[in-house]
């Protein structure tokens, strides 16, 4: 019996091939190189011999799943514990020292008649944020705090506990990121997965990719498209390294031993601002990432990334 086996996007793993590869032969007669293709992004692509129609399947590699899980858990601990630390002094400055009379960003609360009012001040502009920023909490129990209790770790006020969670999660992020980079750099998989190809940068391809995302018509492909590659590349190459270095700069001991960690940002207070902005960009990236997951086969992708269940590609 003859089966038609298609390998969507296999050209990303084998640059000398163009377009989908089709073989009108049973799985047992396929060349070995087509039975199991290592796919960009830490996936393994192969026909499923147990399937009656020999469907192509995608399965995330073990190192991808483990590093992804460690990074995800670490980030979801880092963000709320970082907000707990920020709440201890909810203002940001530039330069080397804090100029308390001239923060470029401040979250606070003040009396407005007989009530309290929360506010967010950015530069010379101010926004009322009562109930969200500056002044929040259940009726009768509202309190003055930059970010509300439900966004911080722990939920109660504790700078020491927040720092402990933050430092512990930072080690987890460092280990997970190191595992991801080592596994991805081995054999050039990370380069093939994240660096845009020349065809992707063609004006017509860029417009098509933008239109696909704006209309939420994402292609059925195992590899990353242009916008995904650029987003991942920005996070891996720019945002995360900047957050790591700026985080080290805020440690008095590290900054004393390596002053360059603060100097590259223009001072320790500028490093703290960069750390806060980087956290905001990372939160935005995660939000879009989760949105795309919910809109595009969420259960199938979640099973694949957590349990290693094969993702079927008809």
pLDDT of residue 67: 84
Q: Are 29 and 4 in contact (CB under 8 A)?
A: no
Distance CA 79, CA 86 (A): 10
Q: Are 94 and 267 in contact (CB under 8 A)?
A: yes
Answer whether residue 124 shows pLDDT above 80: yes
Q: How confident is the model at residue 146 (pLDDT cuts 50, 70, 90)?
A: very high
Distance CA 120, CA 133 (A): 7
The predicted model gives 31-48 an average pLDDT of: 46
Distance CA 73, CA 169 (A): 8
The predicted model gives 273-291 an average pLDDT of: 93
Whole-model pTM: value is 0.76
Answer whether residue 155 shows pLDDT above 70: yes
Strand partners, 52: none
Q: How confident is the model at residue 17 (pLDDT cuts 50, 70, 90)?
A: very low
Q: What phi and psi, each to the nearest 5 degrees, are found at residue 264?
A: -65, -20
Span of 35-49, 50-64, 289-303 with lowest mean pLDDT: 35-49
pLDDT of residue 209: 85
């Amino acid at each position: 019996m003859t089966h038609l086996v298609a390998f969507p996007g296999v050209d990303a793993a084998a640059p000398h091939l163009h377009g989908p590869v089709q073989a009108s032969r049973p799985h047992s007669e396929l060349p070995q190189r087509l039975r199991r293709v290592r796919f960009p992004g830490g996936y393994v692509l192969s026909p499923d011999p147990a399937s009656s129609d020999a469907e192509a399947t995608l399965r995330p590699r073990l190192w991808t799943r483990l590093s992804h899980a460690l990074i995800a858990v670490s980030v979801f601990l880092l963000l709320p514990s970082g907000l707990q630390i920020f709440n201890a002094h909810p203002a940001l400055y530039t330069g080397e020292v804090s100029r308390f009379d001239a923060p470029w960003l401040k979250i606070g609360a003040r009396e407005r008649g007989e009530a309290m009012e929360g506010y967010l001040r950015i530069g010379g502009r101010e926004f009322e944020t009562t109930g969200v920023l500056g002044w929040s909490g259940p009726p009768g129990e509202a309190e003055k705090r930059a970010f509300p209790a439900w966004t911080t770790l722990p939920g109660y006020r504790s700078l020491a506990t927040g720092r402990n969670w933050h430092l512990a999660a930072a080690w987890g992020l460092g280990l997970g990121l190191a595992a991801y980079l080592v596994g991805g750099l081995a054999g050039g998989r990370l380069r093939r997965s994240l660096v845009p190809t020349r065809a992707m940068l063609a004006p017509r391809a860029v417009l098509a990719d933008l239109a696909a995302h704006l209309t939420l018509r994402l292609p059925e492909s195992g590899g990353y498209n242009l916008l995904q590659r650029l987003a991942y590349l920005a996070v891996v190459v720019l945002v995360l390294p900047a957050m790591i270095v700026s985080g080290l700069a805020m440690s008095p001991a590290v900054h004393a031993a390596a002053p360059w960690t603060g100097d590259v940002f223009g001072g320790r207070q500028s490093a703290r601002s960069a750390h806060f902005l980087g956290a905001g960009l990372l939160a935005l990236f995660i939000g879009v990432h989760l949105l795309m997951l919910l809109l595009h086969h969420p259960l199938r992708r979640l099973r694949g990334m957590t349990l290693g269940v094969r993702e079927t590609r008809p």
